[in-house]
């Protein structure tokens, strides 16, 4: 079974739940802001169990879909419109487009104001450039602090940092090239969550695999990493 159709109330009606069989022990049901629903299950779980489980969670799925449908456009940085919302470092911000010959972005407590020529509508490009620059500066600052505090004493050379859009990962590490890559959309999250992701990726420079040694080291350096990870997951999805 690759997906399962569940009957919900309007406007969702027949909604597809995408099934992912993995080498995991726990069940993960998630509803994303783009209204996609996924269920990750251990490889040995039967199709009947999956169907029964999804049906038992139909009310919860419907509730999450309704919430995200009501806030369509929320947290989006694609095809921005004046007045749309997003998050920046864990706080809600309103994106405002204004006409100006001088192309720049002004960050306020509750707003991100993008100045550009309305006639040629360059606001998307200007915002994306500003966002990536801010993401890089934020990540490199936090990476430097964590590296100097934790990894320098292990003789680990400071890695090269890359920032790019990533669809399924918050970050990745390539120990052989001494580099880490962080998702530019992670900038939406609270700083505590960003610190967790950076520490996670830096830890791979010592422990390449997610084994006991990796998680023991992570726990010693950041005892509340599980709480931070949970907070991060809830910033983007609602999951069980």
Kindly report, residue by residue over 198-218, the tens digit of the pLDDT: 999 999 999 999 999 999 999
Domain total in the chain:
2
Q: Is 84 contained in some domain? A: no
pLDDT tens for residues 105-126? 999 999 999 999 887 879 999 9
Task: Select from 32, 48, 70 the last residue of a domain.
Answer: 70
If asked whether residues 56 and 151 sit together in one domain, one would say no
Q: What's the rounded Cα separation, in Å, for the pair 140 and 136? A: 6
Orientation angle between helical segments 58-70 and 47-56, nearest 10 degrees = 60
Cis previous bond, 180, omega within 30: no
Q: Is 210 contained in some domain? A: yes
Q: Report pLDDT for 152.
A: 95
Tokens of 164: 């790019």
Q: Is 103 contained in some domain? A: no
pTM: 0.70
If asked whether residues 64 and 142 sit together in one domain, one would say no
Residues of the chain with pLDDT under 50: 72-74, 238-240
Q: How many residues does the chain have?
A: 240
Domain that holds residue 156: 130-239
Find the CATH number of the domain harbouring 168.
Answer: 3.30.2010.10
If asked whether residues 63 and 134 sit together in one domain, one would say no
Q: Report pLDDT for 214.
A: 96
Q: Report pLDDT for 71.
A: 52
Q: Given phi > 0 = left and psi -120 to 50 = alpha, else beta, which region is 145?
A: alpha
Q: Is 102 contained in some domain? A: no
Q: Is 78 contained in some domain? A: no
Q: Is 217 helix (H, G, I), strand (E, B) or coil?
A: helix
Q: Report pLDDT for 196.
A: 98
Task: Select from 48, 70, 92 the last residue of a domain.
Answer: 70
Q: Is 64 contained in some domain? A: yes
If asked whether residues 45 and 135 sit together in one domain, one would say no
Q: Report pLDDT for 49.
A: 95
Q: Report pLDDT for 70.
A: 61
Q: Report pLDDT for 73.
A: 44
If asked whether residues 151 and 224 sit together in one domain, one would say yes
Orientation angle between helical segments 191-203 and 123-146, nearest 10 degrees = 60
Task: Select from 38, 53, 70 the last residue of a domain.
Answer: 70
């Amino acid at each position: 079974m690759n997906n399962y159709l569940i009957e919900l109330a309007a406007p969702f009606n027949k909604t597809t739940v995408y099934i992912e069989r993995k080498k995991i022990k726990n069940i993960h049901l998630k509803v994303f802001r783009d209204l996609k629903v996924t269920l990750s299950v251990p490889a040995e779980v039967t199709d009947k169990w999956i169907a029964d489980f999804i049906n038992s969670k139909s009310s919860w799925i419907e509730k999450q879909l309704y919430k995200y449908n009501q806030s369509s456009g929320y947290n989006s940085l694609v095809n921005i419109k004046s007045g749309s919302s997003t998050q920046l470092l864990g706080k809600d911000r309103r994106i405002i487009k204004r006409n100006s010959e001088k192309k720049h972005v002004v960050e306020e407590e509750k707003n991100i104001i993008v100045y550009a020529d309305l006639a040629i509508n360059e606001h998307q490009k200007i915002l994306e450039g500003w966002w990536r620059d801010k993401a890089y500066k934020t990540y490199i600052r936090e990476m430097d602090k964590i590296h100097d505090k934790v990894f320098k004493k292990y003789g680990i050379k400071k890695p090269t940092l890359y920032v790019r859009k990533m669809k399924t990962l918050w970050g990745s590490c390539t120990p052989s090239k001494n580099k880490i890559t962080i998702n530019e959309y992670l900038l939406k999250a609270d700083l505590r969550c960003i610190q967790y992701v950076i520490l996670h990726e830096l830890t791979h420079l010592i422990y390449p695999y997610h084994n006991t040694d990796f998680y023991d080291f992570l726990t010693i350096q950041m005892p509340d990493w599980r709480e931070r990870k949970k907070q991060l997951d809830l910033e983007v999805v609602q999951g069980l």
